[in-house]
Amino acid sequence: MHGLNGSQHRREESVVIGFVGGGSRDWAEKLMNLLALTEEFGGTVRLYDLDYESARTNAELGRKIQRQEAAVGDWSYEAVETLEAALDGADFVVCSTQDPPSETFAHDLDVPQEYGLHQTVGDTVGPGGTFRALRSIPQYREIAAAVREHCPDAWVFNFTNPMTVCTRTLYEEYPDINAVGICHEVYHVQEWLADLAAEHLDIDEPAYEEVDVTVKGVNHFTWIDEATLGGRDLFEAVDAELATRDPPSYEPGDPAIADMSVYGTNHEVTLDLYRRYGILPAAGDRHLVEFVPWYLDPVEAPADIHRWGIKLTPSSHRVESWPEAMAEREAILSGEEPVDISHPGEEMVDLMTALLGHGAVKTNVNVPNQGQCPDLPEGAVVETNALLTEDSLTPLTAGTLPAPVRSLVETHVTNQETLVEAGFAGDLDLAFRAFRNEPLVTLDPADIEALFADLVEAERDYLDAYDIAGADVLH
Amino acid sequence: MHGLNGSQHRREESVVIGFVGGGSRDWAEKLMNLLALTEEFGGTVRLYDLDYESARTNAELGRKIQRQEAAVGDWSYEAVETLEAALDGADFVVCSTQDPPSETFAHDLDVPQEYGLHQTVGDTVGPGGTFRALRSIPQYREIAAAVREHCPDAWVFNFTNPMTVCTRTLYEEYPDINAVGICHEVYHVQEWLADLAAEHLDIDEPAYEEVDVTVKGVNHFTWIDEATLGGRDLFEAVDAELATRDPPSYEPGDPAIADMSVYGTNHEVTLDLYRRYGILPAAGDRHLVEFVPWYLDPVEAPADIHRWGIKLTPSSHRVESWPEAMAEREAILSGEEPVDISHPGEEMVDLMTALLGHGAVKTNVNVPNQGQCPDLPEGAVVETNALLTEDSLTPLTAGTLPAPVRSLVETHVTNQETLVEAGFAGDLDLAFRAFRNEPLVTLDPADIEALFADLVEAERDYLDAYDIAGADVLH
Amino acid sequence: MHGLNGSQHRREESVVIGFVGGGSRDWAEKLMNLLALTEEFGGTVRLYDLDYESARTNAELGRKIQRQEAAVGDWSYEAVETLEAALDGADFVVCSTQDPPSETFAHDLDVPQEYGLHQTVGDTVGPGGTFRALRSIPQYREIAAAVREHCPDAWVFNFTNPMTVCTRTLYEEYPDINAVGICHEVYHVQEWLADLAAEHLDIDEPAYEEVDVTVKGVNHFTWIDEATLGGRDLFEAVDAELATRDPPSYEPGDPAIADMSVYGTNHEVTLDLYRRYGILPAAGDRHLVEFVPWYLDPVEAPADIHRWGIKLTPSSHRVESWPEAMAEREAILSGEEPVDISHPGEEMVDLMTALLGHGAVKTNVNVPNQGQCPDLPEGAVVETNALLTEDSLTPLTAGTLPAPVRSLVETHVTNQETLVEAGFAGDLDLAFRAFRNEPLVTLDPADIEALFADLVEAERDYLDAYDIAGADVLH
Amino acid sequence: MHGLNGSQHRREESVVIGFVGGGSRDWAEKLMNLLALTEEFGGTVRLYDLDYESARTNAELGRKIQRQEAAVGDWSYEAVETLEAALDGADFVVCSTQDPPSETFAHDLDVPQEYGLHQTVGDTVGPGGTFRALRSIPQYREIAAAVREHCPDAWVFNFTNPMTVCTRTLYEEYPDINAVGICHEVYHVQEWLADLAAEHLDIDEPAYEEVDVTVKGVNHFTWIDEATLGGRDLFEAVDAELATRDPPSYEPGDPAIADMSVYGTNHEVTLDLYRRYGILPAAGDRHLVEFVPWYLDPVEAPADIHRWGIKLTPSSHRVESWPEAMAEREAILSGEEPVDISHPGEEMVDLMTALLGHGAVKTNVNVPNQGQCPDLPEGAVVETNALLTEDSLTPLTAGTLPAPVRSLVETHVTNQETLVEAGFAGDLDLAFRAFRNEPLVTLDPADIEALFADLVEAERDYLDAYDIAGADVLH
């Protein structure tokens, strides 16, 4: 037996966190709030960003948060000018990076639309996910190499999409890295299951952490084959919910759609897939529809997508949310807006707490497959539960998937592995083989080629690690 | 070393061949012609068919062939009324069966067309292949059980499509069966390579047997990663051919299309896939396009398919060819038409000759995977080369496929394995999981369900081994 | 995240424990003591034994323990006369069975000694382990069948050796069983590591639960490739210990040997294997030496074994300890001896507590391989850590073994799998293939056969599930 | 179908053979005789040897052979002074090398005898095989590197033991090499089976090539699970032979032993293993006994080994046969002895003939596992049948081994892979892990270490690629 309540003998030290992408408009603030609320440990956060100004602003925000009464943790913040300065001797490295949306993400979404391909998210798979992967691989190689040099034993938390490819890149470059990809998508499914339990099984308002799920697959396309609460099977609640639903036919004007954020979901695709395969997808509908050809393929107009109770996230939303977040941050710093220290519903600091020896945590993580998914390729990054204890993260075995589902998942594993290989080799012809094999890309062969070429052209400035001149597919 | 030129000690006996589907309009005549031209051995052929009259007519035709001067083999023919009578003590069992096209195959093609899904063949994968599989599995279980009882050591040659599923069913029912699925698709690719060698490499008219290819994959979706002639790499000839071609844009009226049989090919899809993956598909274009989503999916009208230099095989062709063949056979028997004993370009009797100990043969066969395709699941029926010697058939190792191609192939392996499981269990919900996972079936989810239900309804009389009432997908 | 501190929504019920081998002289008393000390839950224990009288005596002892002041748990005890009565509706089934040593275990040890084969334990592998396995398989099939019928969802805890074979048999008979093999061998290694940490790393008296180890292999031949305490690497302590040791050459009269229990160990074999392979064996030396040929093979007299600081456990010890334990129990019941409720250092009730939802436990268990040992065969029973939460036991991935060690382990996996196959088929020729492949059995071939025959003869009454008359090896 | 009778389009060229170890006393003469008898092709043989004089003498012998009337092939011979000169542009490379026996092989045999370990051959596994492997790995790396540079497409035939390790080294150094390990051990088993067929099945004097066997395993420890002749099962003949035999108890003076060459066998071990496992070993008894612990372990004096109808090959035989062969060659060159051109019963030129396109050959070869042995590790060198055609060698799938036999084989696969890893790293501690895991090495742990150190000391001059000073096991 090994105690899970934390060690008497843990090392008590001041913790150093290096934040890569420290100008982040979202994850940085979440982290700073969480740290402010943490009593178990304190230390220093070093914020590094290509946009130094943005990192500096975040440092200022961090210090402002620390000055609030609600802030119990003891943390200092500094913006640094080099990756090395952020990482040197760090205990944790947090990665949350993004290229300027107007020069990248906007193209990822808009160029395929010209060919009739609509993407609900576009950051994981499909044309957008593929190009985001191609852009990220050289960046994450660089981060991994810097970790190897400056903080080889640090725990590296990645929040950047495409989660699987970025995390896989870290391990490909530096196989001994302690990296883990962290995503909240499964928590939301646990929350939904908790709601269903309350509604259909007459259980009093359970917290999402009480819902125990066996997760497996790849990020944003994970599957749950067992969900329980207090030993009770929650698939009963899902079945009960399914029985209340009509075939989905939402209209754009329906309130369930009209008032919904672009990040919202009505779980219709989830339930459709559950009904087909007897196993529950563990991601929002807007992600799920990008992994299979059936929901987005026959779309003639974006409105059709609404039928499934989901919305497209338009590129304008991506482009505009960037300065909006900036403005909001400025407003807080200037005192125009109040500082709000609330728990953002994220688990990253819980994971740090566990790794520092203050008690175990079980949660879903993205790490290379070492048996947790015995029917997926060894070494590919998969998402399953893991147990985190002092300085240790161990995946839990998750068992196999039903064969037809495994086949759907493995298509993406192959594409992701192929992209990493292409990214390390700078080989766009190899990348195109993955692109063409994306379930969303069911265009005529000549159009697939043209779309790929258009995307390369639009994002050429971000692809300088690739041999564009030598790519057959472009000529 | 083991001699490949035939044994001095082979058993010399009169051979018994049981033909299941002995009323066949095509393979029976081919077999009878080949046997008439064979000097190494003789014996008896027993023709069994649900349509006894057709078997009786074939027996008569067989005897007429034997009476020709060109017939050097010594063979007798008889029509029998039961499967048992055909198989009892047989040395070889030949399977070539087909349900009445107007009641089955026609629906396989026409019902999906109502949903916009056009199939160029429809007998292997896609909606048509799936339903043909569902109809065949119970029939091939019955044949395997009869072999186990009446001729457990016989060599069973299957010619029926879907080749993979039928052959897999034989092994699932009777694991010790000596069954082999035989298909001429690869020979045609060897012929084409021989032509290209003559044209581009200045080699004198090679015979197709001189072309050595390393084949792997599943039937009608096999791939060649090495092709040589006299030690010379034939991919040079393919590259040379590719250089002569423009992007395909055949018009329906083009002579290359207009005068072409529905079985014809202009190798455009083959070359397109070769260009993408660096490995050569080893089947006709009309088969290949059904295994991937790109060529048939965006079709708005059947004519679009012509662009790739291929034709749809309309259901009317299937329905009409049946009585035409009947009539032709009658004309020969009545003396109206002459008997023409010519070599049909098939290898089945060469395989028999090898198995009887008259010298070795190397050719492509469909048998369960025992290592010949190490990156495909063990036990699934795969197509690779094998060596046939006296009473022995041994697959040759074929090595692995490039990852993106393996991913395409494995989708079909999973579907085929799922269909066999569904067929043995009579489970249409499980069958639907395979159906939905077919790359051609990229319809809206509700339409996929409706199409499946329509096909079940149309072919209900041929699906009595399935639990239609209990299938969730139909209700 | 899923909370590990126990559920708010767990089912609160009175627990039923069926004890198979309830007349047990050792595990029954341990269980009763542990339950008496447990506050979280209470219930009923039903004791079943072929020797009903012994079960009845234990029930009386259980009730006496409950009457002690220190007993905080609320438990009732009853002896039952059938397996069905013990299992019907049980929440937990505890298995601890043993055939009469004088008729079985004594032969397991003494007959091989006539051939020069000395066994230090003889209950897991080697000649003794093999025959114990053959006797146990039919018994554990019967238990599994009864569980399937009377309490299909119960958690079954097995304590009987050979641990791997008994647990594997339960799953082979009833694949959906919730069975787990539990062994304390690893705890003792954790204790030793805690001692070494105190001694060499200057850490204050750590509890064994603070030592975190990554365990993998098969029961009694598991290996640790990572051991930490508070994030500190304990292999440093092992290295330090190794540096203090001379090459082992204990004499029978040395106090370290002379005063040591037959169950004692001086860790010399452990350290020898650690030095060779760089990975730490996680079992007592007396077990380890039976898994490899080097330590027991060249023995000319039992005294030689002492050189390694270990003792043989003579058959007389096994035979005599049986009535001694009986007498001791009687003395307690009669009041001659006081009842001593102390914690026996076992974890079984901690596991129950976790499975009932009162907080998670991480410990080493024996269950079928589903990826936790990716380099050992799927389905074989392996020992690794697992996480136990409410109604759930999930193995943690343990990673691979160094190739030479894996080779040593896999020999035993093959033997164990072969024995289970032989036991289900009643096939002694197949059993002999495993027997002959035991590393300890390096006799001349004719002697191996004679030894096997002698053991069958000696234990014939316990082998009636086997086809003795039809075994080639015996004739 | 691909024709097996040879190509019409093969390249007709003069062939260049580079012979590494061209001073060889055995294989060089065999090759020269075979070439002299070959009509299909001619060319040049370049003999390279560290002992240049010996190569020169062989060249002279080759020319003398060519001058005989019986010599139909057209060949010229030359001794060359560098590896490069031998290999530059070669079509075939033949490797048959040996260190001076008195400085190496003699120690391999004699040093272990001092510890009671008797080896019947000592060139494949056991202490002798291990040290021969350690000496060979650096040499075969060098050869592979030279092939890569000077004749990257050549076919490399290896005849040197340890066959598996030498061939594996070639592939480890140069993965694209066309190397094949060739051994006659299986032919002798085919001959024996032919004899048994004649004796027990009343078949007229079959040639060994008529016996068809399915071979699998590692060199000198291969197994046959199917043997046929003219479709007839030859295990019937083996069973009949077994029935005639008494338990083996040969005395040193028995004629079957006394007059037998040290290379002879009475097949007693073969039959003993066949009886145990139902599958036939395919190597001489003198090899087989070194792969398992039962036959040589309990030997108290060399004479005991005779009981199994085999002899030790004493080191003196190895040392003396070297100058004897030299003298014999001199006698032929001086005209004292006649030149005898007879077929040596080896197949190497048949393999060349096939690879040059003159007709297919099926025979047993040693190449990396790519599915031919699906239950052995991928990439390890295994021995199975292969089909050789023009410029192509393809292993035939051989299926799985019975689990207990597979376990015996896999122990050696692990050792061999470990040795190659140790050889490339120069790591004697890793090599010792393999040494200690040899089934023959069942000494007391301290003696195993001492024996290893003694062997390193004795052969230190041949181990300069290893880090002797840094090896823990030696200090």
Strand partners, C20: C48, C95
Q: What is the DSSP letter of B470?
A: T
The share of chain A scoring above pLDDT 70, in percent, equals 98
* C147, C15: one domain: yes
* A162, A43: one domain: yes
- Which chains share 3+ C-beta pairs under 8 angstroms with C? A, D
Q: How far apart are CA B466 and CA C10, in angstroms?
A: 42
Q: Degrees (nearest 5) of the Cα angle B217, B223, B226?
A: 125
Distances (CA, A) of B145 to B142, B150, B175: 5, 9, 11
Q: State the nearest Cα–Cα gap between B72 and chain D, in angstroms.
A: 23
Query: Which residues of C lie closer than 8 Å to D, measured between beta carbons?
Result: 247, 272, 275-277, 293-295, 297-298, 402-404, 406-408, 410-411, 414-415, 417-418, 432-434, 436-437, 439, 442-448, 472
Cβ–Cβ gap A406/B418 under 8 Å = no
Residue B192: what residue type? W
Residue C427: what residue type? D
The alpha carbon of residue A247 and the mean position of all alpha carbons in its chain are separated, in whole angstroms, by 30
Nearest-10 crossing angle of helices A403-425, B428-436 = 20
Strand partners, D257: none
Determine A/C contact with 3+ CB pairs under 8 A as the test: yes
D chain contacts of residue B231, beta-carbon cutoff 8 Å: 7, 10-11, 357, 390-391
* A162, A106: one domain: yes
Strand partners, B280: B224
Task: Report residues of chain C scoring pLDDT below 70.
Answer: 11-12, 298-303
Q: How far apart are CA B41 and CA B339, in angstroms?
A: 22
Residue C238 structural domain:
185-313
Neighbours of B473 (CB within 10 A): 19
Cβ–Cβ gap C297/D442 under 8 Å = yes
Tokens matching residue D361: 């050959």
C chain contacts of residue A208, beta-carbon cutoff 8 Å: 1
Q: How far apart are CA C416 and CA C424, in angstroms?
A: 12
- Which chains share 3+ C-beta pairs under 8 angstroms with B? A, D
Q: What is the DSSP letter of B18?
A: E
pLDDT at D302: 66
Distances (CA, A) of A260 to A253, A310, B178, D15: 11, 9, 61, 78
> Are B466 and B429 in contact, with CB atoms under 8 Å apart?
no
For residue B156, tell me if it sits in a domain.
yes
Q: How far apart are CA C325 and CA C26, in angstroms?
A: 8
Q: Degrees (nearest 5) of the Cα angle C283, C287, C291?
A: 105
Q: How far apart are CA A224 and CA A159, in angstroms?
A: 22
The verdict on whether B184 is a catalytic residue reads: yes
* B176, B46: one domain: yes
* B228, B153: one domain: no
- For B347-394, the DSSP string reads -HHHHHHHHTTS--EEEEEEEE-SSSSTTS-TTSEEEEEEEEETTEEE
* Strand locations in D206-292 (E): 212-218, 221-229, 232-233, 280-281
pLDDT at D219: 98
* B12, B137: one domain: yes
For residue A462, tell me if it sits in a domain.
no
- For B95-160, the DSSP string reads E-----GGGTHHHHHHHHHHTT---SS-SSSHHHHHHHHHHHHHHHHHHHHHHHHH-TT-EEEE-P
pLDDT at A301: 63
Of D2, D370, D394, the CB nearest to B374: D370
B chain contacts of residue D406, beta-carbon cutoff 8 Å: none
C chain contacts of residue A198, beta-carbon cutoff 8 Å: none
- Which chains share 3+ C-beta pairs under 8 angstroms with D? B, C
For residue D145, tell me if it sits in a domain.
yes
The single residue of A184, A188, A200, A317 carrying the catalytic annotation is A184
For residue D245, tell me if it sits in a domain.
yes
Cβ–Cβ gap A444/B408 under 8 Å = no
> Are C19 and C31 in contact, with CB atoms under 8 Å apart?
yes
- What number is the ipTM of this complex? 0.94
Tokens matching residue A416: 């992701």
Determine B/A contact with 3+ CB pairs under 8 A as the test: yes
Alpha helix (H) residue ranges in D99-184: 105-114, 126-150, 163-173
Question: What tens digit of pLDDT does each residue of A232-249 get?
Answer: 999 999 999 999 999 888
Query: Nearest to residue D133, comparing CAs of D142, D124, D120?
Result: D124
* B92, B198: one domain: no
Size of interface A-B (CB pairs under 8 A): 85
pLDDT at D351: 97
Query: Nearest to residue C366, comparing CAs of C404, C435, C413, C434?
Result: C413
The total domain count for chain B is 2
Cβ–Cβ gap D293/C293 under 8 Å = yes
Q: How far apart are CA C208 and CA D130, in angstroms?
A: 42
For residue C243, tell me if it sits in a domain.
yes
Give a three-class secondary structure readout of D283-297: CCHHHHCCCCCCCCC
Best probe of the C interface among D223, D295, D378, D437, by most C CBs < 10 A, is D437
Determine the residue of chain D that is closest to B373 in CA distance.
D371
CA atoms within 13 A on the CB side of C456: 24
Q: State the nearest Cα–Cα gap between C383 and chain A, in angstroms.
A: 13
Q: Determine if the peptide bond prior to B344 is cis (ω within 30°).
A: no
* B92, B40: one domain: yes
Q: List Cβ neighbours of C253 (8 Å cut-off, separation of 6 or more).
A: none
Strand partners, B388: B361, B393
Strands D280-281 and D155-158: unpaired
A chain contacts of residue C9, beta-carbon cutoff 8 Å: 203-204, 206, 210, 229-230, 232
Q: How far apart are CA D145 and CA D84, in angstroms?
A: 11
pLDDT at C3: 81
Q: Degrees (nearest 5) of the Cα angle A53, A56, A60?
A: 140
For residue A196, tell me if it sits in a domain.
yes
Q: How far apart are CA A41 and CA D330, in angstroms?
A: 86
Question: What tens digit of pLDDT does each residue of D116-139 get?
Answer: 999 999 999 999 999 999 999 999
The alpha carbon of residue C182 and the mean position of all alpha carbons in its chain are separated, in whole angstroms, by 6
Per-residue pLDDT of chain B (475 residues; tens, 9 = 90+): 888 887 777 766 799 999 999 999 889 999 999 999 999 999 999 999 999 999 999 999 999 999 999 999 899 999 999 999 999 999 999 999 999 999 999 999 999 999 999 999 999 999 999 999 999 999 999 999 999 999 999 999 999 999 999 999 999 999 999 999 999 999 999 999 999 999 999 998 899 999 999 999 999 999 999 999 988 999 999 999 999 999 888 988 888 888 888 888 999 999 999 999 999 999 999 999 999 999 987 556 666 788 899 988 888 988 888 888 889 989 999 999 998 888 888 999 999 999 999 999 999 999 999 999 999 999 999 999 999 999 999 999 999 999 999 999 999 999 999 999 999 999 999 999 999 999 999 888 999 999 999 999 999 999 999 999 999 999 8
Q: List Cβ neighbours of D421 (8 Å cut-off, separation of 6 or more).
A: D427, D430
* D276, D369: one domain: no
User: Of C295, C313, C331, at which residue does a domain stop?
Assistant: C313
Q: State the nearest Cα–Cα gap between D417 and chain C, in angstroms.
A: 9
Determine the residue of chain C that is closest to A188 in CA distance.
C1
User: Of D362, D395, D428, at which residue does a domain stop?
Assistant: D395
* D192, D222: one domain: yes
Cβ–Cβ gap D9/B210 under 8 Å = yes
* B17, B145: one domain: yes
Tokens matching residue D270: 């073969």
pTM of the model: 0.95
pLDDT at A231: 82
C chain contacts of residue D415, beta-carbon cutoff 8 Å: 404, 407
D chain contacts of residue C277, beta-carbon cutoff 8 Å: 433
Q: What is the H or E stretch that residue D186 is in?
A: helix D185-200
Task: Report residues of chain D scoring pLDDT below 50.
Answer: none
Of chain A, the end-to-end C-alpha distance in Å amounts to: 62
Cβ–Cβ gap D390/B231 under 8 Å = yes
Q: State the nearest Cα–Cα gap between D361 and chain B, in angstroms.
A: 7
pLDDT at C159: 97
User: Of D395, D417, D443, at which residue does a domain stop?
Assistant: D395
Cβ–Cβ gap C418/D404 under 8 Å = yes
The single residue of D184, D188, D200, D317 carrying the catalytic annotation is D184
Of D231, D372, D395, the CB nearest to B357: D231
Alpha helix (H) residue ranges in C334-463: 348-355, 403-425, 428-436, 445-458
Best probe of the B interface among A297, A407, A415, A443, by most B CBs < 10 A, is A407
Question: Catalytic positions of C, please?
Answer: 184
Of D4, D230, D395, the CB nearest to B397: D395
Q: How far apart are CA B468 and CA D49, in angstroms?
A: 77
For residue C37, tell me if it sits in a domain.
yes
* C39, C89: one domain: yes
D chain contacts of residue B3, beta-carbon cutoff 8 Å: 207, 209-210
pLDDT at D107: 97
Task: Report residues of chain A scoring pLDDT below 70.
Answer: 11-12, 298-303
For residue B345, tell me if it sits in a domain.
yes
Cβ–Cβ gap D434/C298 under 8 Å = no
D chain contacts of residue B1, beta-carbon cutoff 8 Å: 187, 208-209, 347, 350, 361-363
Say which CATH number the domain at B376 has. 3.90.1820.10
The single residue of B9, B184, B358, B412 carrying the catalytic annotation is B184
Query: Nearest to residue A141, comparing CAs of A115, A114, A165?
Result: A165
